[in-house]
Structure 1
C-alpha cells in the first residue's frame, strides 16, 4: 500500500489510529517523533545527510565511508597518490595494487586466449602476483638489489599486499638507514622494469631471417605524408648481403594500393636475377591474403593490380614468390 504523509495527518496532527493500524509499534513511535509543520508544505524528498536536504555525490560518499570504513586496500591507494615519486610510477603501482594490469589471467576473463602461460618462465598461468613475486626472473631481480630482497618469503597473498610492503616496509625487509621514499622509488622502478621485460617477451618483433641458400628475400614497404607516398624495396641474398636497394614516389595516398604497387615493382625488378627462389616480405596482410590461394576475394582497391602480379609469377617457372 502506497501512502503519502498527508494521508497520515488530521487537523490535530498525526492520525495515531491510522498510523498504528498501518505500521508496527517501532515504526509508529518513530513517525510520532517527527515534528509537523504548521505551514503545511507540499510533500517532497529530503536528503537527511546534509543541511541543505539536497542529494550530492560528496555527501553520499562520506555517508558510505561512515557506514563502511575504508579497507586496507583503499588506504594503500591513498598512500600511493601521496607518495613523492613520478606520476607514471604512481600509476603503475596503483594498477598493480588494483590488480588491473592486462595480465593473461585478467584478459582470459573477457576473451579466449590460446596462451595463458607466463611469458618469462612458461610454467603456469600468468598473474600479477606471480609476475612480481614468484617468477624466477623477478626473484632474481629483487635479490640482486642492494637489500637482497626475498619477497617470496613474506607470504604476500595479493598484489595490493605487495605494494603495501613497498609503502610500509616490515622489519623482515631490513632497510635500516634507508629513507622510505628512496626504498619506494627503487621498488617502483624495478616493478616498471619487470613489466617492460614481460611485454618485450610477448611483443618483441621477430628479427629478419635469412632466406634459404641460393634465394633472395625482398622486403618492401610504403611511406605516407600528406597526400604523397613513396615505396621502397631492399633485396638481400641468403648470406644477408644486399643485392639491390631502390625507392620511388608513387601516385597513391591509400596504404593498400601503395604497398601493392611496392610488391609489384619488387617482382618486376627481380625478374632478371638468376636465383632458385624469391621471397617477398610485406606487412600488408590484405594483399598477402589476396595473392595466397585462400579463396578470399581480392579487396576492391587493388583488383587492378592483382592479375599483373599473378602473371609475373606464372610466366617465370623458376621464380617463386612466397608472401
Structure 2
C-alpha cells in the first residue's frame, strides 16, 4: 500500500499544506489525516478484512458504521454540533463524502466564509470535536459505556477551550523555536521513519521545504522485519519519493544513526542485511543535483514517527 500527498482520496496537496501548517496539536492533525485516508478501524472498513456479524454504528445503530456516518450523520454528532459554539446544521452536509467535509474544515474561509482568527479556531474546534467523537465511540465499543449527548457536548467545549489556551500560550513563546529545522532555500528535507509491528512494518516519509510546508507524504507497508532493515527501507522510500517528485536538492533525515552513517560513508561496511538497500539509496541519491543525509534525535523527527505509529 502506498499513499502520497496527491493521492489521499480527493484531497489536493494545497489542502494538506494548510492542515500541516496549522498550529493545532500534531495528534489532531494526524486524526484528520487518518479520517481522509479511511485508516480508522470503523466496522465498514474492518468488515472487508474480517467477518463481523454486525457493522451498524455502535452508538446509534441506525446505519452502517462508515467514517461519513460517524463524523457527519450520526445523531450524537449532529447533537454535539447543535450544542456547540458553532451550531452548524449537519443535515446540510449529510450527503457529503468525507473528503469534501474535511476540505470545509481545513479551508473554512473559502467554504463557510469564516474569516481570520475565527477560521483557525473553527478548524481547531472541529478537530477537537472529531477527536472526542472518536474517543467516545471507542468507549462505547470497548467499555460498553453509552454516550450522553449533553455530557459529550460539554466535554467537547471544555477540551476546545483547553487546546485554545495552550495554543495561545505556545504562540506567545516566540523564543522557543520548533525542534525540527527547515532545510536551506531551494532544498527539500525528507524525514523518514519506520515502526516495526507484530504483523508488518510501516514506513513513512514526510517532505518539507525551506518554509516548513509539507510538499509530499508517503506511507508503505512491508512484511515483518528487523528495525535496522525497516529504517533502511524507509530511507530508500524517502529517496525514491524525492526523485519521483522531481526535487533537485534533498536532505534525508532520520533518527536511525547507523543508517545515516552508512549512507554518508560508503567505505564503511553496513550490516549484511541492509548492504544492498544502502547501495540502492546511494544510487538514487546520485541522480540529484545535490544531496545530504543527517541524523536527528526522535524529538526532531516527531511528525514522521507519529505518522508511522
TM-score, length of structure 1 as denominator length: 0.39
> Greater Rg, structure 1 or structure 2?
1
